[in-house]
Chain A
Amino acid sequence: MCRIGAIKSRNYIHPSMALQLMQSQQKGHDNSGFAMVMQNLGGIFEPYKHLPTLSMACTDDGIKIAEDILHEIGFHRVMQWAPEVNDEPGLDINAMPNYVFETFDYPRTYRKADQKEKEELLLDTRLRLRAALEPNEEGFAYSFWPDVITLKEIGDPRDIGTYFNLWDADERFTAKVITAQCRQNTNYDIVRYAAHPFHLQGYTALANGENTFYLKNKEFQQGLHRGYIGFESDSQCFLYTLHYVHRELGWPLHYYKHVVTPLPFEDIEQREDDKQLKAIRQSLAHLEINGPNTIIGLLPDNTMFTCCDAKKLRPVVVGRDEDTVAVSSEVCGINEILPDRDWETDIYPNEREVVVINDDLEVQRWKQ
């Protein structure tokens, strides 16, 4: 089973905090992998927040394939960082030869392009990289987006941490938002892309549970947007629905909850906005989820939220102190990283609410 965690802080934090958050929950997950997405980057990436960073794991040939494509499109590299790896014997990690974090400037022709055009270019580029790297498994392009870094690997999360030197905090590799998860998706094949968190155009999602409406979701999503691909994990569907509702339809975040877990008809009838809610339930019926799931999501403006399925079959807890809010499958994870917080203010969200943490670290509970 998955365990998920997310940390949002006023200060830049190091991935070691995410590892600690997840390590104490290790009995609940199966220690088969580690994946994290860092957003609102600090350290060496802080000066490049407006420029896209490519996060990729690949072979030597994979680097060449990717760089050729990026060059052809006109991207030029402004920064490159590769983690120093600690390849000691006996570590349980299925490592790729190279881990690439490269920041690029946009092609000249895009200098005056508007934000939307740039965003579409970044998506198209990542999809092209992925397609080119896929045939011989030359590499995995996880994200290509400003101010976002993704790291995923197969193995024991503790050893993965050791391999990438992530247990020792430093100030070079930090972010204000880190989401993490410690399991490869073992319901299906072991594939690097199958590990959440997933990222698409500024949106990030990770989930705990099993999406029983996977087929329905997938069949509907695959025709909605060119970026909705892969489906190696049933949890990708949650990201695509978030992206579709918030970005493509342009609806406020609280409608995401109405899409994934619509109210029963008898409750809808009692509402003033019954017309809208019914129309949502009708037109987006195939994006409904039926649990058991808890979802943690992030919007491009770094707003973090969590909600769960209508049966509340997966728990999640939100805890905080002055500077940091953590969301975690199990409270022991939060106890680990925020031991001195007032635990009486912890929130255990119910099945009909969305807990939202904005950039001022204000925690709001929205009733569906």
Chain B
Amino acid sequence: METMRLNDVTANDLPWKIKYDASRCTMCGSCVATCTFRAIVPKVERRRMVFSEGNFPEPKARFSAVPVIRQAKSIRDYCRGCGMCEKVCPNDAIKPERNPDTRHPIITRCLGGDSIKRGGRKNLEGSSRTLDSIRVGRISQMTDPSLDAQRHTFDLLAPFGRILPPKKLPFKPDEAHQLVSNAATPPVNWIYPVIIGDMSIGALSWRMWEGVAMAVAYLNEECGLPVRMCSGEGGVPVRLLKSKYLKYLILQIASGHFGWNRIANAMPHMVEDPAGILIKIGQGAKPGDGGLLQAGKVAEHIQAIRGVPKADLLSPPNHQGLYSIEESVQKMFLSFNSAFKFRVPVAIKVAASATSVSVFNNLVRDPYNIVGGFFLDGIDGGTGAAHEVSLDHTGHPIVSKLRDCYLAAVTQGRQGQIPLWAAGGLGKTGDLAADAFKMMCLGANGVFTGKLILQMAGCIGNDMGRCNACNTGLCPAGITTQEPQLAHRLDPEKVAQNIVNYYLAMDQEFKKLMAPIGNSSLPVGRSDALVATDHAVADRLQIQHVC
């Protein structure tokens, strides 16, 4: 018999416990084969059975070796609660159960001597969300009739690009009373108000990335929805860079500049301009922290696309060489503007922060009018990998920060000049249309979403600590992994189909929200259409309180 020591790891120390019913198990082995975390292992148990064979009780004991499934007791190979075992078990013999007595946060640090890393979202707070205390409360009645959501023509488009103050438009009337333009204006693309957020091709499996790209192409070419996706910082396959589908892609550059060697080399061969450039300064889920791609996920094709060896890839927390907002404007924006000959809008993405309004003010007042979008990412966003302490304890919620930035623009009469795009936990409950709509009423021109896209594809992670193992490269859904056998679990066509269908449903839902307030175009800044059931929320956001 094994000797147990007090500090040995047991199942009771881990966040999930495997509930296994040996009497239902047929020993098919599916669960063990499917568990990417090696959190369950086949084992042989010694069993004692007492039986009696005659007419009178004559108890005898028999010992046998029985094959069973057991939970691994390791802080490396532990159950993440993904439930794949339950999914594949034909007999309902096995499933993970949340362990409320887990000592995982303590023993992992004690045994590992390293900070805990994981993927997913902030897990500390419960389900109370600001947006859920807000309703679309200004319903058109009588003199201002509601629209017909099915038959009315709606304009569901949002600007990406720098919008000039009216007095700076280079227009003069000619003799025929027509305005003629006598100078160039910054490029602006009108796109669908929900951008597929920046998830790199290293963080995602190539099959997931392909599925997303397919969905975007289909939405544009077949459904007439000009949806754009952002590449994330991690490069783009050269074939895509040289294809006509590049026009649906927003290229991201972050502090690691990963993949930009290939992008720069591909520029002369591009047949279309990209939809935009997004300079990522920070990310809402782990503000102040750079990207993190652990060596396990740096497969050969990732090395090739990014031009790096197999090693942990850590983007610095800031852009080396950028010391001020002015400098970022001059250096990065001007270099990208000139690289694409002023045809491609360049925007910036920052983590929501106590200082966001100052940053926004600086950008919106910049006399060159070249910042083409302010992407503001809040704390509730997801990430492929980060230190848990950053995920759980740093960051700033998006709703009030977005509102603050919009109201700062209102104060200066500059609303809309730098389009505001918001993200960070939007669609967390599954209803992205409602969240996006409310954010627009509060001042956003559009929103971007990442984690929800993964969930459309089949990600089973949630905010209650389920799975959240994107950092390990062992994604049981084949979404955030570079292991070929795991990636092949994912059917890119099914991914594309789910995303397309979600967008079509969301498009309907937008119309069902626009119709009652009588809006034909997106309700940017229509905070009068919102009411809040929470007094503090109403006060903070300057909307009507109702009860």
Number of A-B contacts (CB under 8 A): 103
Q: A212-B144, A282-B416, A285-B416 are in contact. Are A290 and B179 (CB under 8 A)?
A: no
Report yes or no: B528 in contact with A279, Cβ–Cβ below 8 A: no
A286 CB contacts on chain B under 8 angstroms:
415-416, 525
A322 at the B interface (CB under 8 A): no
Chain B CB within 10 Å, residue with most, of A212, A215, A292: A212
* 0 or 1 for each of B334-370: is its CB under 8 Å from A? (1 = yes): 0000000000000000000000000000000000000
Report yes or no: B179 in contact with A273, Cβ–Cβ below 8 A: yes
A293's nearest neighbour on chain B, judged by CB, is: B144
B26 at the A interface (CB under 8 A): no
Cα distance, A278 to B186, chains bound together (Å): 12
Say which residue of A215, A280, A310 sits within 8 Å of B526 (CB atoms). Answer: A215
Cα distance, A67 to B411, chains bound together (Å): 35
Report yes or no: A215 in contact with B179, Cβ–Cβ below 8 A: no
Chain A CB within 10 Å, residue with most, of B143, B157, B163, B173: B143
Report yes or no: B415 in contact with A265, Cβ–Cβ below 8 A: no
* 0 or 1 for each of B160-183: is its CB under 8 Å from A? (1 = yes): 000111110101110001111100
Cα distance, A267 to B167, chains bound together (Å): 25
Report yes or no: A276 in contact with B179, Cβ–Cβ below 8 A: yes
Cα distance, A59 to B534, chains bound together (Å): 45
B153 CB contacts on chain A under 8 angstroms:
264
Report yes or no: B415 in contact with A279, Cβ–Cβ below 8 A: no
B458 at the A interface (CB under 8 A): no
Number of chain B interface residues as a range: 35 or more
B517 CB contacts on chain A under 8 angstroms:
212
Say which residue of B167, B171, B190, B521 sits within 8 Å of A276 (CB atoms). Answer: B171
Report yes or no: A212 in contact with B518, Cβ–Cβ below 8 A: yes
A213 at the B interface (CB under 8 A): yes
A210 at the B interface (CB under 8 A): yes
* 0 or 1 for each of B508-521: is its CB under 8 Å from A? (1 = yes): 00000000011111
Segment 187-210 of A: residues with Cβ below 8 Å from B: 209-210
Report the minimum CB–CB distance from B33 to chain A (whole Å).
52
B143 CB contacts on chain A under 8 angstroms:
1, 209-210, 292
Cα distance, A249 to B172, chains bound together (Å): 9
Q: A212-B518, A220-B415 are in contact. Are A279 and B164 (CB under 8 A)?
A: yes
Cα distance, A349 to B173, chains bound together (Å): 26
Segment 503-547 of B: residues with Cβ below 8 Å from A: 517-521, 524-528
Report yes or no: A282 in contact with B188, Cβ–Cβ below 8 A: yes
Cα distance, A214 to B167, chains bound together (Å): 22
A212 CB contacts on chain B under 8 angstroms:
140, 144, 517-519
Say which residue of B145, B171, B518, B525 sits within 8 Å of A279 (CB atoms). Answer: B171
Cα distance, A255 to B166, chains bound together (Å): 13
Report yes or no: B525 in contact with A248, Cβ–Cβ below 8 A: no
Report yes or no: A273 in contact with B521, Cβ–Cβ below 8 A: no
Report yes or no: A254 in contact with B159, Cβ–Cβ below 8 A: no
B188 CB contacts on chain A under 8 angstroms:
278, 282
Segment 1-27 of A: residues with Cβ below 8 Å from B: 1
A352 at the B interface (CB under 8 A): no
Report yes or no: B520 in contact with A223, Cβ–Cβ below 8 A: no
Q: Is the interface of B mostly helix, strand, loop or mixed?
A: loop
Say which residue of A223, A265, A276 sits within 8 Å of B181 (CB atoms). Answer: A276
Cα distance, A254 to B144, chains bound together (Å): 25
Report yes or no: A215 in contact with B528, Cβ–Cβ below 8 A: yes
Report yes or no: A283 in contact with B163, Cβ–Cβ below 8 A: yes
Q: A254-B177, A290-B520 are in contact. Are A248 and B167 (CB under 8 A)?
A: yes
Say which residue of A213, A252, A283, A292 sits within 8 Å of B165 (CB atoms). Answer: A283
B155 at the A interface (CB under 8 A): yes
A268's nearest neighbour on chain B, judged by CB, is: B190
B155 CB contacts on chain A under 8 angstroms:
264-265
Cα distance, A214 to B529, chains bound together (Å): 11
A291 CB contacts on chain B under 8 angstroms:
144, 518
A219 CB contacts on chain B under 8 angstroms:
410, 415, 525
B190's nearest neighbour on chain A, judged by CB, is: A265
Cα distance, A291 to B157, chains bound together (Å): 20
A311 at the B interface (CB under 8 A): yes
Cα distance, A265 to B155, chains bound together (Å): 7
Report the minimum CB–CB distance from B161 to chain A (whole Å).
8
Report yes or no: A290 in contact with B159, Cβ–Cβ below 8 A: no
A113 at the B interface (CB under 8 A): no
B138's nearest neighbour on chain A, judged by CB, is: A212
A276 CB contacts on chain B under 8 angstroms:
171, 178-181
Segment 248-299 of A: residues with Cβ below 8 Å from B: 248-252, 254-255, 264-265, 273, 275-276, 278-280, 282-286, 288, 290-292
B321 at the A interface (CB under 8 A): no
A78 at the B interface (CB under 8 A): no
B413 at the A interface (CB under 8 A): yes
B320 CB contacts on chain A under 8 angstroms:
none
Report yes or no: A255 in contact with B179, Cβ–Cβ below 8 A: yes
* 0 or 1 for each of B131-156: is its CB under 8 Å from A? (1 = yes): 00000000010011101000001010
Cα distance, A311 to B163, chains bound together (Å): 27
Report yes or no: B166 in contact with A283, Cβ–Cβ below 8 A: yes
A213's nearest neighbour on chain B, judged by CB, is: B526
Cα distance, A120 to B157, chains bound together (Å): 39
A264 CB contacts on chain B under 8 angstroms:
153, 155
B74 at the A interface (CB under 8 A): no
Report yes or no: A224 in contact with B164, Cβ–Cβ below 8 A: no
B7 at the A interface (CB under 8 A): no
B462 at the A interface (CB under 8 A): no
Segment 216-269 of A: residues with Cβ below 8 Å from B: 216, 219-220, 222-224, 244, 248-252, 254-255, 264-265
Q: A214-B528, A310-B520 are in contact. Are A279 and B410 (CB under 8 A)?
A: no
Given contacts A220-B413, A249-B166, A252-B173, 11 further A-B contacts (CB under 8 A): A213-B526, A216-B524, A222-B413, A251-B171, A251-B173, A252-B178, A254-B177, A264-B153, A265-B157, A291-B518, A292-B144
Interchain Cβ contacts under 8 Å between A and B, 24 examples: A212-B518, A213-B526, A216-B524, A219-B410, A244-B166, A249-B166, A251-B171, A251-B179, A252-B177, A265-B155, A265-B157, A273-B179, A275-B181, A275-B185, A276-B178, A278-B190, A279-B181, A280-B169, A283-B163, A286-B416, A286-B525, A290-B519, A290-B521, A310-B520
